[in-house]
């Protein structure tokens, strides 16, 4: 058996083709986990999994109930267990609420909110049926703790993730299933690459002056928190919101 904080565990990570999900996958594998990456970006997902020893990739549209059932059933059949779910898949929309179309709003709800709900429910059902404990980690945002100007639809879905996390933790604790949320601040990923605060040097410098730790976050910062919540080191943590933002929201 591999050594590491996740030795012998099986982890399913959504949005694993790139960014935070891919980094989490590499870290989990380095800590002994068997990693299953999922995404809708199949070429990038296959490449990401190919660079991680023992990892596999599966296509998963997180807004699809049937695809969730297919993927979780396959993981349970292949490995006989599923210890960790990281609901990492998410999309953003930089737009004022009064300019946001219903189609745009519903698209964010489908991925960020419905996708998280379906993942939590599908995995929790599988774990309960098998009599297994587990750790579910939902990637929310600091926008899931306070409203963010220009990201109203995104904030709404991330608030929903926070609420789902806290409710599920109370319902599933008796089954040994822990549910926590991680709330990143501004993190440098492909999803934020086009944001002016990240891409424009002057805007970035201004932003970093307002971050107590003086820098924009990196995917490794989130992955390390997720690793803690996936491991037995956090065995008495559930229903909690873990903020990783360089000290902006103490």
What pLDDT sits at residue 176?
Answer: 98
Q: Give the pLDDT score at 204.
A: 84
pLDDT (tens digit, 9 = 90+) per residue, 4-25?
999 999 999 999 999 999 999 9
Is the pLDDT at 246 greater than 80? The verdict is yes
* Active-site residue, from 57, 154, 159, 236: 154
Cβ atoms of 29 and 51 closer than 8 Å: no
What lies within 8 Å, CB to CB, of 25 at 6+ separation is 11, 13, 16, 35, 37, 48, 49, 52, 55
Q: What is the pLDDT of residue 1?
A: 42
10-187+218-243 has CATH 3.30.1330.60 classification: no
Rounded Cα distance between 202 and 33, Å, is: 41
Per-residue pLDDT reduced to its tens digit, 177-202 = 999 999 999 888 776 767 777 778 88
Structure confidence at residue 166 (pLDDT): 98
pLDDT per position as a tens digit, 108-154: 999 999 999 999 999 999 999 999 999 999 999 999 999 899 999 99
- Helix, strand, coil percent content, the chain, rounded in steps of 5: 50, 15, 35
- 3-state secondary structure (DSSP) of residue 121: helix
Catalytic site includes residue 236: no
CA distance 168 to 178: 8
Q: Give pLDDT, residue 250.
A: 78
Q: What does the pLDDT read at residue 200?
A: 80
Q: Where are the domains of the chain?
A: 10-187+218-243
66-121: per-residue pLDDT in tens?
999 999 999 999 999 999 999 999 999 999 999 999 999 999 999 999 999 999 99
pLDDT in tens, 14-61: 999 999 999 999 999 999 999 999 999 999 999 999 999 999 999 999
The pLDDT, as a whole number, for residue 152 is 96
Summarize the confidence of residues 216-232 as an average pLDDT. Answer: 96
């Amino acid at each position: 058996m591999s050594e590491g904080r996740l030795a012998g565990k099986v982890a399913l990570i959504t949005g694993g083709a790139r960014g935070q999900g891919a980094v989490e996958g590499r870290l989990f594998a380095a800590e002994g986990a068997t990693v299953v990456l999922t995404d809708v970006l199949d070429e990038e997902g296959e490449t990401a999994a190919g660079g991680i020893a023992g990892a596999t990739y599966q296509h998963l549209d997180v807004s699809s109930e049937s695809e969730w059932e297919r993927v979780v059933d396959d993981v349970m059949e292949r490995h006989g267990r599923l210890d960790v779910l990281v609901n990492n898949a998410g999309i953003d929309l930089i737009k004022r609420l009064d300019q946001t179309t219903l189609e745009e709003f519903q698209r964010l709800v489908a991925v960020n909110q419905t996708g998280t709900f379906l993942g939590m429910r599908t995995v929790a059902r599988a774990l309960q049926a098998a009599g297994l404990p587990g750790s579910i980690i939902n990637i929310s945002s600091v926008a899931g703790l306070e409203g963010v100007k220009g990201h109203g639809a995104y904030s709404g879905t991330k608030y929903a993730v926070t609420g789902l996390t806290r409710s599920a933790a109370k319902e599933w604790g008796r089954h040994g299933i822990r549910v926590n949320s991680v709330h990143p601040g501004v993190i440098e990923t492909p999803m934020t690459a086009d944001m002016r605060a990240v891409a424009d040097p002057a805007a970035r410098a201004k932003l970093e002056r307002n971050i107590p730790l003086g820098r924009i976050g990196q995917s490794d910062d989130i992955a390390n928190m997720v690793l803690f919540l996936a491991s037995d080191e956090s065995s008495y943590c559930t229903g909690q919101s873990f903020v990783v933002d360089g000290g902006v929201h103490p």
